[in-house]
Structure formats: C-alpha cells, structure tokens
C-alpha cells in the first residue's frame, strides 16, 4: 500500500467528506492566505453572517472595504508574522452586513491561529468569529442602569442633605450629635428628619420627626415640616406653638398627614426638659445609673385631629438625652418590646464608657455611633433611622491673650485660637475659618504700627455666645497707616489681601479704627456635622489624629512620575521665606513643571497664597508652572477655593501615595 493510500485524508472521496463537514460546521470560521489576505475557505455560517456568499478568492480589503482603519487586517498580519495564536475578547467592529441598511456595529470574540503550509511555514491565518453583541449590549445596559442608579442615588443624597440641617449648632453649655441612616442602598430618600434650634437663654430645641413613606413627595413634606417647626421655635421658643403650626400644615398637605414628631427643649442651666411627642416614641435619658424612657405625652400624629400638651422631666449634669425614630425599634427579628429593651441597654452601656478602646470622641458622638453600630449590625434594618443626642456641659472659658505683634507671637495666638475652637468640638470648616481669620487680622496689625510707635501690642478675645455665634475680637494699639504702593520698598503683593480673606472667613467682620488703636471683630456661627450614612458606612471606628509639624517641611517625592514636592505644616509669614527659593530650585527658575501636594498644609495664610500666585508670573515675567493639589476638605482646599486660586482636588499621581513614599508615609 502506498503512503498516500494509508493517509485517511488522501483517500478517494475523503476530501469531499471533509469539505462537506467543514461547510456544515455551525461555526463561523474562515482562512486567509498570502500578502493580500485572500479568503481560501469559509464555512457557510461565516459567509451567511458576513453577507458575502462568493467570498472565496477575494482579498480581505476588497470583501470588507469599510473596515479600513479598524485594524482588522492588522490583527491577521500580526498572527502571520509571529506564528502565535491569539484570542481577543469583545472587539468592536463596524461591518456592512446584509439587511442592515448600512454599517452595523458588532462585538466579536476572535480566536486566531497561524495557517501552515506543507513545509510548516506560516502562510496565512485561520479565524474563528463569535458574535457576542447581545452579551455586550446587555452588559452596557446593566452598566448604564448602574450609572443612572448611582446618579439617582447622588441626587437622593444631595436632596437629603439640602433638606436636613447644614450642621448642628455648637453651644456654650450643650453638646449635640446626630446620625441618620438610610434604609438600604436602594432606598429612595426617606422622611426622617432632625433639627436643633438655639433659643434664648442658652436653651436648645431638639427635633426628630418621621414622615410616612419614602420618595420625593415624602422628602418634600419632611422639608416643609422641618421649615415650619424651625421657624416657629426660632420665633417663639414655645413647643406647643410649633406643634400647632406643623399640625395645621399636615392637615393641608396630604403627604405630611400622620407624620410624627418629638420636640424637646433643654435648659442647660437647670437641666429642665420640656417635651411633646406627637405620635412619636418618647425621649430616652441615660446616665451612670442606667437608662429610662420619659413618660410619653400620648398624643397622635400630626394632622389627625389630636390635641397636644407638654410634659416635663429633669436631666442631671451627668445624663444624656436621646431622641430617635422608630426605625431603631422596628428592626427585623425583634418585637417592639425586645427592641426597646435592647435600645435602653446599649445606650446605657455607651454612656457608661466607650465600647471600644481608643474611642475618645465626645460622649454624644459615641452614643449615636455605637448605638447604631451595635443594634443595626446585629439585626439589619428596614426603615430609616435617626438618632440625636444632647448633653449638658461646662462652658469653655473665654479666651483672652495679649502679646507683642510679630511672627513668633502670631504662632502662639494661632495655637491658642485653634485649641479654643477644638475644645468646643466645632466642625473643621469653622476651625479653619476662625484660625485663618485670626491669623490674617493679627498679621495685618503689623501694618498699623508706624515706625516711631515702638511696636504693637495685640489682644485676642474669643467667646461663644448663647446663640452659637463665636465672637473673636482682635485689638491693637497701632495707628492705621497708608498702604504702600508698587515701587515702595515696603510694598508686598499680599498687602490688603489678609483683611479681605478674614472677611471672607467670617459671617460678619467689623473694623473700628481709632487714633489709639484698631479693633477687628470677627463673627461666625459655629456648627458641627451630623452623619448621613448608608448601610456600608456603619463602621464608626475613630481615626487616630496625626500630629503635624509646627515648621514648614518641604518634602521631595522622587517616586512620582514627574517633579513633585509635598508641603507639610503652616505656610505663613514665618515660614514663607523658605518656600520661594525652593519653588525656584524645583522648577529650575520657572522652566519645569512641578506638582505641589498641599494635602497636609495646616495653615495657609495670605502671604502663602501670594507666593503660590506665582503660578501666573513673578515680577520678572518668569512663569511658574505649578500644579497645586489640595484634596476636598483639606485646609488648603478651603483657602484656595475662597481666593479662587486654580488647584486640583484629584491627586495627579495617586500611585505616589500608595507606594509608601508620599507625605502620609512620614512619621
């Protein structure tokens, strides 16, 4: 028997069988050969899909001219040149397919193998085409739906934050905290709300309420009720007057009907509590001896025809009062009685001491956070939950500090103001604002003293008023002098900029100029943020505070893909002298780009802002191509946004921080 007779694919009739089998394969397979990539074989499934019944012998470019620029032929040529198989997933192409009315976009998986001749040399390519357009389109629809959901959730969060208070007031003798947890990640905006309204004599009205249902209509009704109650409480301070106004509105607005609310007025001087629960769970008082619910006032929800009255109780100095919505009671797997007992036990434990070591936050913050965490993590929750806690406290003493003007005393003054604001547990924006306002005004007092004055003494007084307004009074004995003009050797680019910055950081700034001195009064209402949370954010572990250096550190970051430095510490008149030469050095005299990381700048004075304005040009016309990075919420971001100095809140080199060589890696 000859060799050819022993080869099953060379025997008579077998070639025809193989061709018939290949033709009937339910796969889209083709083979192309030669430099022109001529089709030498194609299954009927491929020819039908491509809409080219007579494709054999046709060069690829002639069969599919519309693919020019889509790098299809280049893929084939790459396999031929390398002799290696390739698999490509979900490649997008546009073909002129039959009955499509023009070019159709398709997504295909491509499996490519080299086609070899008798001498084992690569002569072409074998391609298997799998149309995955339906799968990709479905993935795109899912991705688009997820994107729309994220956008809708962002709108929900924004709506919720706009209708809830911007912050909780910081008061001399009462400390307040609140947490708000949405029902779940897919929930629409809810109807829970909270508020705290400062009243005359240092009192505060605490409000927690719940509108029936979810969605935009419920949230809108919540916003209306909160506005009515806030207005009446602010105007009269009377609980029943506020409840009556909300009840009238609930009768007119269908979505507000049957809403529940609890209003509690706390007098820090005596500890007296005056409260009314309109269909709402009663407040909970906790102290060293345990927790107790105050007697319910017993009236029905708003807009239902109920009559309302107030009850009174007493809050001892070491006790805390907690207001809440029924979402914390109506948890899955618990009867209301069981959930009520659990709430009182967890609250009592949180008041008695930190559940977790190292948590040194104020008691009201721990109470809201740990109560939410311990109860919700165990059972889950099916409704929104709002917690609000308030505690009496001793007022922080008024700050009064006098010293000689100058850079050294400026740092002392700034540290004292920072410590005073921190003792009040005010929000970060308020801390930054008062710190910068004080620094700018104290620095500006240097300009008041004439050369023959022999120096200027500056006095700083800071006090917190009963309405939550911080009043910062900075007085000096200097005499106002004319501002130096360009060309005067005393002229600086930041002249006059500091007082403008101080005014921008204040709710109100008054300047009293007299022959014997100048007094500047800075007023700003202090607040602290409540927590608006989603279920994934219930881990309230306290982050350890990091101490920042008092000197300005300029740290090179050599692992960044381009020139980059980090500035750590204060940038003010005392440290600015080091910054200019370093910017010159790192930018090679303003000829090279430089990223400046300001994320750990602790203070950015007007002198520092003036130096950074060299991103435009200095006096000699040299350009300083700086990219200023100040993440949202940082001190530098607040200041740069205020003065409208261009900067980015997105790290240009996020890999630098991850590598362990960024500023956060320093001890």
**Greater pLDDT, 49 or 353:** 49
pLDDT band at 156 (very low <50, low <70, confident <90, very high): low
pLDDT of residue 325: 93
Q: How many residues does the chain have?
A: 667
Integer CA distances (angstroms), 406 to 409, 436, 472, 503, 580, in order: 6, 16, 19, 21, 21
User: What global pTM score does this model have?
Assistant: 0.69
**Contact call for residues 96 and 106 (beta carbons, < 8 A):** no
Cross-strand bridge partners of residue 113: 126
Q: Return the percentage of the chain with pLDDT > 70, whole number.
A: 82
**Mean pLDDT of the region 311-330:** 94
**Contact call for residues 414 and 439 (beta carbons, < 8 A):** yes
**Joined tokens for residue 37:** 């990539």
pLDDT band at 664 (very low <50, low <70, confident <90, very high): very low
Instruction: Give 483-501 pLDDT, tens digit per residue.
Output: 555 555 544 444 556 788 8
pLDDT above 70 (res 455): no
pLDDT above 80 (res 360): no
pLDDT band at 422 (very low <50, low <70, confident <90, very high): very high
- The 3-state DSSP composition of the chain as helix, strand, coil percent (nearest 5) reads 35, 25, 35
pLDDT above 90 (res 579): no
H runs (alpha helix) in 253-358: 336-352
pLDDT above 80 (res 248): yes
**Contact call for residues 480 and 513 (beta carbons, < 8 A):** yes
- The phi, psi pair for 90, rounded to 5°, reads 55, 50
Terminal alpha carbon distance of the chain: 85
Tokens 């306290």, located at residue: 542
Integer CA distances (angstroms), 466 to 66, 286, 419, in order: 76, 25, 20
Cα separation, 505 vs 524, in Å, equals 8
Residue from 525, 494, 527, 498 nearest 511 by CA: 498
pLDDT above 50 (res 660): no
pLDDT above 50 (res 471): yes
- Structural domains in the chain, sorted by start: 3-131 (3.30.450.20), 164-392 (3.60.40.10), 399-528 (3.30.565.10), 548-665 (3.30.750.24)
pLDDT above 70 (res 4): no
Residue from 462, 380, 449, 357 nearest 415 by CA: 462
The DSSP result for 71-109, as a single string, is: -HHHHHHHHHHH---EEEEEEEEEEE-TTSSSEEEEEEE
Least confident range of 362-371, 486-495, 639-648: 486-495
Cα separation, 604 vs 606, in Å, equals 7
Cα separation, 216 vs 437, in Å, equals 40
Buried-exposed string 254-268: b where 16+ CB fall within 10 A, e elsewhere? ebbbbbbbbbbbbbb
Non-local (6+) Cβ contacts of 76 within 8 A are 32, 37, 60, 112, 125, 127
pLDDT band at 527 (very low <50, low <70, confident <90, very high): very high
Cα separation, 660 vs 616, in Å, equals 32
Angle 458-460-464 from CA coordinates, rounded to 5°: 170
Cα separation, 657 vs 247, in Å, equals 55
pLDDT above 90 (res 352): no
Cross-strand bridge partners of residue 114: 125
Cα separation, 652 vs 641, in Å, equals 18
Cα separation, 574 vs 369, in Å, equals 41
Which contiguous run of DSSP H or E holds residue 137?
A: helix 133-163
pLDDT band at 542 (very low <50, low <70, confident <90, very high): very low
Directed axis angle between helix 216-236 and helix 239-252, to 10°?
A: 150
**Greater pLDDT, 608 or 291:** 291
pLDDT of residue 538: 64
pLDDT of residue 142: 87
**Greater pLDDT, 482 or 644:** 644
């Amino acid at each position: 028997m000859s060799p050819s007779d022993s080869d099953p694919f060379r025997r008579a009739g077998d070639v025809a069988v193989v061709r018939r089998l290949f033709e009937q394969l339910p796969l889209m397979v083709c083979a192309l050969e030669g430099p022109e990539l001529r089709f030498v074989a194609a299954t009927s499934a491929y020819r039908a899909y491509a809409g080219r019944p007579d494709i054999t012998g046709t060069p690829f470019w002639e069969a599919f001219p519309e693919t020019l620029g889509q790098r299809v032929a280049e893929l084939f040529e790459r396999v031929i040149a390398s002799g290696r198989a390739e698999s490509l997933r979900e490649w997008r192409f546009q073909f002129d397919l039959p009955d499509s009315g023009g070019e159709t976009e398709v997504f295909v998986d491509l499996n490519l193998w080299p086609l070899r001749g008798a001498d084992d040399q690569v002569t072409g390519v074998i391609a298997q085409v799998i149309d995955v357009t339906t799968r990709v389109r479905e993935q795109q629809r899912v991705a688009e739906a997820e994107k729309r959901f994220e956008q809708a959730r962002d709108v929900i969060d924004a709506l919720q934050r706009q209708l809830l208070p911007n912050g909780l007031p910081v008061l001399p003798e009462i400390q307040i905290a609140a947490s708000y947890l949405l029902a779940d990640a897919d929930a629409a905006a809810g109807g829970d709300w909270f508020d705290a309204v400062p009243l005359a004599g240092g009192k505060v009205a605490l409000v927690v309420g719940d509108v029936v249902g979810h969605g935009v209509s419920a949230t809108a009704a919540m916003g209306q009720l909160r506005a009515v109650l806030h207005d009446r409480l602010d105007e009269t301070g009377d609980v029943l007057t506020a409840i009556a106004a909300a009840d009238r509105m609930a009768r007119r607005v269908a979505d507000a009907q049957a809403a529940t609310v609890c209003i509690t007025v706390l007098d820090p001087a005596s500890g007296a509590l005056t409260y009314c629960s309109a269909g709402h769970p009663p407040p909970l008082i906790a102290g060293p001896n345990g927790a107790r619910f105050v007697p319910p006032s017993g009236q029905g929800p708003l807009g239902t025809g109920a009559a309302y009255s107030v009850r009174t109780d007493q809050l001892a100095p070491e006790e805390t009062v907690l207001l809440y919505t029924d979402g914390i009671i109506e948890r899955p797997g618990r009867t209301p009685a069981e959930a009520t007992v659990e709430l009182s036990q967890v609250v009592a434990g949180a008041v008695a001491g930190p559940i977790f070591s190292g948590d040194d936050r104020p008691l009201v913050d721990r109470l809201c956070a740990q109560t939410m965490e311990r109860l919700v993590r165990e059972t889950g929750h099916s409704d929104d939950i709002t917690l609000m806690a308030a505690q009496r406290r001793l007022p922080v003493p008024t700050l009064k500090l006098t010293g000689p003007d100058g850079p050294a005393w400026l740092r002392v003054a700034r540290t004292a103001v920072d410590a005073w604001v921190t003792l009040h547990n005010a929000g970060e924006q308020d801390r930054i604002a008062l710190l910068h306002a004080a620094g700018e005004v104290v620095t500006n007092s240097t300009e008041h003293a004439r050369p023959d004055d022999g120096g200027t003494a500056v006095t700083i007084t800071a006090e917190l008023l009963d309405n939550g307004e911080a009043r910062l009074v900075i007085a000096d004995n200097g005499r106002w002098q004319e501002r130096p003009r360009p060309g005067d050797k005393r002229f600086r680019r930041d002249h006059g900029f500091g007082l403008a910055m101080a005014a921008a950081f204040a709710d109100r700034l008054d300047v009293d100029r007299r022959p014997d001195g100048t007094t500047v009064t800075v007023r700003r209402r202090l607040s602290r943020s409540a927590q608006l949370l989603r279920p994934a954010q219930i881990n309230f572990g306290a982050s350890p505070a990091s101490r920042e250096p008092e000197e300005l550190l300029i740290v090179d970051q050599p692992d960044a893909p381009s020139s980059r430095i980090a500035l750590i510490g204060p940038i003010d008149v005392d440290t600015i002298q080091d910054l200019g030469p370093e910017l010159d050095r790192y930018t090679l005299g303003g000829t090279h780009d430089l990223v400046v990381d300001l994320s750990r700048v602790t203070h950015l004075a007007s002198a520092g802002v003036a130096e950074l304005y060299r991103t435009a040009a200095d006096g000699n016309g040299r350009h300083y191509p700086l990219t200023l990075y100040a993440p949202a919420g940082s001190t530098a971001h607040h200041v740069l946004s205020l003065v409208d100095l261009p900067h980015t809140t997105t790290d240009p080199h996020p890999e630098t921080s991850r590598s362990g060589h960024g500023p956060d890696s320093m001890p």
